[in-house]
Amino acid sequence: MNSPEIERSITEAINNRPKVTTAPLNLYIYNSKLVCGARIVMPKDAKFVVYVPSNCLEQGFNDKEWKLIVQKVNQVTNNQHPDDNKPKESADIKQFKQTRFNERRREQRLYYRRPMWYSQSINKTRYKGRMVDVSSGGVGFTCCVAKENSLVTGQQITTRLDVPLFGTNGSYDMVRFDRAGRICRVEEVNSSIHRIALQFTQPLPFKPAEQGLPNSIVEQKLATI
């Protein structure tokens, strides 16, 4: 397979992953197909490709991560020994894992669904999207695909979103922010919806998922939105 075909297969495997499990998910090759699932349920002859961090499942991979995963798929499908090209690939994979580990340690993401708006410049028409998750440094959201509002990796856009700011007693206010940012990744959910990962140019003044309240309280409060 060439790189675009591999990327489509990876996207399809992740979209068809089991949604109810809490087990770590990996990419495997089984019966000549890419499959995303947990090790415990995979057949013994399924070939491990790569671990998929939970935040990648929601916001997707950046360009460098896509390149590494495509290389790994090619390596496994060509029965290449893991130590082949070791100096370059092992360093890149180590950096990829360390980057994702640092991101997970640096800040959690707040997962919740709420309408938001985006535009391709400050003076252009706003289009409606739906938030998937948010941190102080960026937001993941879905949007409908149309010619007039299509988005691409690397594009600068402006967003307007409401983020809950919690008090110590569990009450909260929705705070509205206008934030410009750069699109890190565009993923096809289906033929009419794309998932966008956006990095803010200016971070939010607080960390939405780290406000000193138990997750159970936060989820209960946001479930009523």
| pLDDT, tens digit, 9 for 90 and up, residues 150-204 | 899 999 999 999 999 988 777 889 999 999 999 999 998 888 899 999 999 999 9
126 & 100 share domain:
no
147 & 57 share domain:
no
Would you say the C-alpha torsion 165, 195, 220, 22 has a positive or negative sign? negative
Q: Domain limits at 59?
A: 3-106
**Could you give the number of structural domains in the chain?**
2
User: Of the candidates 106, 127, 149, which is a domain's last residue?
Assistant: 106
Highest mean pLDDT among 17-31, 58-72, 100-114, 124-138: 124-138
pLDDT of 9 > 80? The answer is yes
Dist CA 157 CA 145 (whole Å): 16
Q: Which pLDDT belongs to residue 79?
A: 64
User: Of the candidates 106, 133, 162, which is a domain's last residue?
Assistant: 106
Q: Which pLDDT belongs to residue 196?
A: 93
Q: Which pLDDT belongs to residue 113?
A: 86
134 & 198 share domain:
yes
135 & 71 share domain:
no
The amino acid that residue 147 corresponds to is K
83 & 116 share domain:
no
Q: How much is the mean pLDDT over the chain? A: 79
Q: Which residue has the higher pLDDT, 174 or 7?
A: 174
Q: Which pLDDT belongs to residue 178?
A: 94
Q: Which pLDDT belongs to residue 206?
A: 92
pLDDT of 98 > 60? The answer is no
* pLDDT range class, residue 101, cuts 50, 70, 90: very low
Give, in order, the Cα–Cα distances in Å from 13 to each of 46, 75, 133.
14, 18, 21
Q: Which pLDDT belongs to residue 87?
A: 41
Dist CA 165 CA 171 (whole Å): 8
Q: Which pLDDT belongs to residue 89?
A: 44
* pTM of the model as a whole: 0.53
11 & 83 share domain:
yes
Q: Which pLDDT belongs to residue 181?
A: 94
| Predicted confidence (pLDDT) per residue in 39-70, tens digit | 777 787 888 888 887 777 766 777 777 778 78
Closest CA to 222 of 168, 173, 176, 177: 173
pLDDT of 118 > 90? The answer is yes
Dist CA 118 CA 120 (whole Å): 7
Across residues 4-12, what is the average pLDDT?
A: 79
Q: Which pLDDT belongs to residue 215?
A: 66
209 & 118 share domain:
yes
